[in-house]
Structure 1
Amino acid sequence: MVATSPFQCLTLTLLILPPLLLTTYFMAVFPSPPAPVSIHPSLASLPPTSKSWSIYPEDFYPGGGYATFPNGRVRYWLVGPEKGKRARQRDRDELHVVLIHGLSIPAIVWKDVAPSLAARGYRVLLYDLYGRGYSDAPLMTYDTNLYTNQLALLMQYLKWEKANIVGVSMGGGIAAAFTAQFPHLTDEGVGLLACAGLMESDDISRTAKFMSSPLVQSLASSRPVQTYLRHLTNQTVARNTLDDKPNVILEIVRLQSAHLPGYNNALSSSLRDGPIRGQTSAFQSSAFEGKRVLILHGTKDVTVRPKYASLIDSTVTSKAHKKVIFINGAGHDLSVSHSKEVTDALVNLLSGSNWKTIPS
């Protein structure tokens, strides 16, 4: 038996005691309370002289209002008759429609479709996603749940029991995820226009990947870069106002990027973490069973390529009433460039007339 000297005992104690105390501390320490969410302002914070107010004013649609949620204020509009059309075979239920915009352009993207649906008797809800337009921009990860919860809270706020859900581009990915997560809030129709959600990383440009990196976003959010962007944008807007037909859609993207500190972060985080990719399980959800699903795509779409329409068709359950329509010559902005064709297809979806039946 080897004798242990007092010096050896002291050495062992000094070696063992610090890690033991540190381990005990980290296991027992009580965490600090979470920090409140930092929220960047929306277009509503810009002065009335800003070009954004003439292009996309706060009252762009009638029936506007704000709903305040934990992640910031959300701007919404309700257009169309208050009672709206009645749902088929459910005389007590009104037929509600939600239109969800895409990655970079707020609800102005529905500028022709929404009034046309309203004129045909539908009650339509439009709103700006977090970080766009007149909705606040929380400084957080813009993942799928942020967007689906935003819509669920908004419908609860408006006391809508359910609605037909229509989305364009990234909004289509949100519509699919919302249907899968909240089937009890989703009515009979789901519209997926130029729909993202299943995109592969290779289809996202290297420039977009580079610009959405956290390092580049930190640089882009710095005061000197923001000041330069505002100067550059103001010059561009001034030149374009001399044109007969300025591209208001492009201008509102530039104005948001230059004047809203949370906008670029919302876009870059959505590219990395949002419902643009990885939504296979949502499209495969049994929540689509028995629903009418419109898959509408332009043949000239180079942003979300037409192959994804066919992929969505094969991914959504065969127990859904699916219809795939390609608009010849339409690009990714089909809700603006081909608003009549889009409106007609949506009316067909909502009415259910001449819709494809479930395969036997």
Structure 2
Amino acid sequence: MTPGGWIALAGLGLAALPAAREAVRTPVGALQKTAPGRFAELSEGRTHYQWFGPESGPVVVCVHGLTTPSFVWLGLVSDLTRKGYRVLTYDLYGRGYSDAPRGQQSPGFFAEQLRALLSDQNLHEDITLIGYSMGGAIATSVAAEEHHRLSRLILVAPAGMGHTLGRMATWATEWPIVGDWAFHMAFPRAHRAAVLAERTLPSTVQNIGDQQISELRRKGFVRSVLSSLRGTLRRDMQSAHRTLAAAQLPVTAIWGRDDRTIPLRAMGTLTQWNRDVRHIVIDDAGHGLPYTHTDQITRLL
């Protein structure tokens, strides 16, 4: 074989690496057989959900973030159900036990999943909606259109105020094909390193680090994260927040003073869009508020 042929062959091998990695990951169908909850058959795919607490309690619906599925809420769920709340958690498409449909994962894409789930569960009014990180942007999108169904909106370290993705993620989101390849190769190691760096943090969710890393072994997860970075986290939610201000829906935003993922300066941006938001800052807290500072969030709610 000529030198050019060897180069071409090597190039093909490198190009195939992401697909080869994806091929050995666990199909979501196999994971769904071990799911702890139930499934709603929605228009874009199966959505895994769980109910907790008394049937007669006030309803709280929780929307998780970019990389950590609904198990991120388990500590908060335990606290809320002891106080008599009825809590619904679910996995966003591409995470946990939910299907991973293709297509751009925009706020509208995720908002439609949540609206469909609420209808499937016959939830029509007096809902407390909680969104964490990217889930804050999703919850805001839904609240802007469905504020008549909500009693209040709680945002925990919310995205949507102009998210800084970091150099690698920004480059990957701006360059199709080449960016896809680079992200599929680099993200798993970066995600694992970020999770391991937080091993010493307190957590009300048992083995949360191991569970976060295990997401890397499911098919569709890495692709879904990249799609969400492109479709949701690069956008700001100014229009939706101004709609909420006009609707006068009670909104509370909870921030971690030491959060490096959603820096505290986002609070100022949100204040410009909706001056009626109640802001609460938790000292010595980073981005993992739902599981590192569960007690404080429970008291604030």
Question: Given the two structures, how large is their TM-score scaled by the length of structure 1?
Answer: 0.66
- What corresponds to 1:300 in structure 2? 258
One-letter amino acid matched to 1:327: I
Deviations 1:146-174 (A, max 9, x none): 11110100010000112111101011111
Bigger relative contact order, structure 1 or 2 (CA pairs below 8 A, ≥6 apart): 2
Counterpart of 1:164? 128
Q: Is the 8 A contact 1:197 1:279 kept in 2?
A: yes
SS of the residue 1:284 aligns to: helix
> What amino acid sits opposite 1:208 in the alignment?
A
Partner of 2:291: 336
Q: CA 1:334–1:68 in structure 2 vs 1: closer, same or farther (change >3 Å)?
A: same
Instruction: Give 1:103-142 correspondences, 5 Å limit.
Output: 103-142=66-105
Please give the root-mean-square deviation of Cα atoms over the aligned residues, in Å.
2.9
Paired position in structure 2 for 1:215 = 177
Work out the CA distance in 1 between the residues paired with 2:146 and 2:139: 10
1:189, distance to aligned residue in structure 2 (A): 1.0
Name stretches of at least 5 consecutive residues in structure 2 with no aligned partner: 1-24, 200-204
Per-residue deviation at 1:256?
A: 1.9
Which of 211, 221, 225 is 1:252 aligned to?
211
Cα shift at 1:251: 2.9
For residues 196 and 157 of structure 1, the distance between their equivalents in structure 2, rounded to whole angstroms, comes to: 27
Shift, 1:249, TM fit: 3.0
Give the C-alpha shift of residue 221 in structure 1.
9.4
**CA contact under 8 A between 1:256 and 1:263: conserved in structure 2?**
yes
- Hey, what's the Cα distance between the residues in 2 that align with 1:217 and 1:42? 24
Q: 1:358 corresponds to which residue?
A: none
Q: Report the CA distance shift for 1:286/1:329 in structure 2 as closer, same or farther (over 3 A).
A: closer
Partners of 2:143 and 2:244 within 8 A in 1: no
Question: Once the two structures are aligned, what percentage of the paired residues are identical?
Answer: 31
What corresponds to 2:30 in structure 1? 45
Change (3 A) 1:141 1:326: same
Alignment partner of 1:194 out of 135, 157, 165 = 157
What is the CA–CA distance in structure 2 between the aligned matches of 1:275 and 1:181, rounded to whole Å? 19
* Contact 1:298-1:334 within 8 A present in 2 as well: yes
Aligned partner of residue 274 in structure 1, secondary structure: helix
For residue 217 of structure 1, report the CA deviation from its aligned partner.
6.1
Quick one: distance in 1 between partners of 2:28 and 2:220? 11
CA displacement at 1:72 relative to structure 2: 0.7
Give the CA deviation at 1:211.
4.2
Does 1:175 find its partner at 2:139? yes
Give the structure 2 partner of residue 205 of structure 1: 166
What amino acid maps onto 1:344 in structure 2? Answer: R
Give the Cα separation in 2 of the matches to 1:117 and 1:217.
41
State the TM-score, normalized to the length of structure 2.
0.79
Output one character per residue of 1:9-29: Cα deviation in whole Å (capped at 9) or x when no partner.
xxxxxxxxxxxxxxxxxxxxx
Residues 80 and 262 of structure 1: is their aligned pair in 2 closer, same or farther, counting only changes over 3 Å? same
Question: Of 224, 232, 246, which residue of structure 2 is paired with 1:274?
Answer: 232
- The amino acid that maps onto 1:326 is V
1:251-305 per-residue CA deviation (whole Å, 9 max, x = no partner) reads 3333222x22311111111111115522110111046633221110000000010
- Looking at structure 1, the residues matched to 84 and 120 of structure 2 have their Cα atoms a distance apart, in angstroms, of 23
Which residue number corresponds to residue 65 of structure 1?
38
Looking at secondary structure, tell me which structure has more helix per residue. Answer: 2
Change in CA separation of 1:137 and 1:284 when aligned onto 2, cut-off 3 Å: same
Cα separation, partners in 2 of 1:255 and 1:210, compared to 1, 3 Å:
farther
Q: Equivalents in 2 of 1:42, 1:165: separation in Å?
A: 31
Which stretch shows the higher mean deviation, 67-76 or 246-255?
246-255
Q: Is the 8 A contact 1:117 1:124 kept in 2?
A: yes
Q: How many residues align?
A: 263
CA gap 1:192/1:173 in 2 versus in 1, 3 angstroms: same
SS at match of 2:281: strand
2:115 to 148, 152, 174: 152
Going from structure 1 to structure 2, the CA distance change for 1:287 and 1:311 (only over 3 Å counts) comes to closer
Deviation at 1:343, TM superposition (A): 1.1
Query: What secondary structure sits across from 1:137 in the alignment?
Result: coil
What displacement does 1:96 show? Answer: 1.2
Uncovered stretches (5+) of structure 1, i.e. residues with no partner: 1-39, 49-56, 85-94, 241-245, 347-360
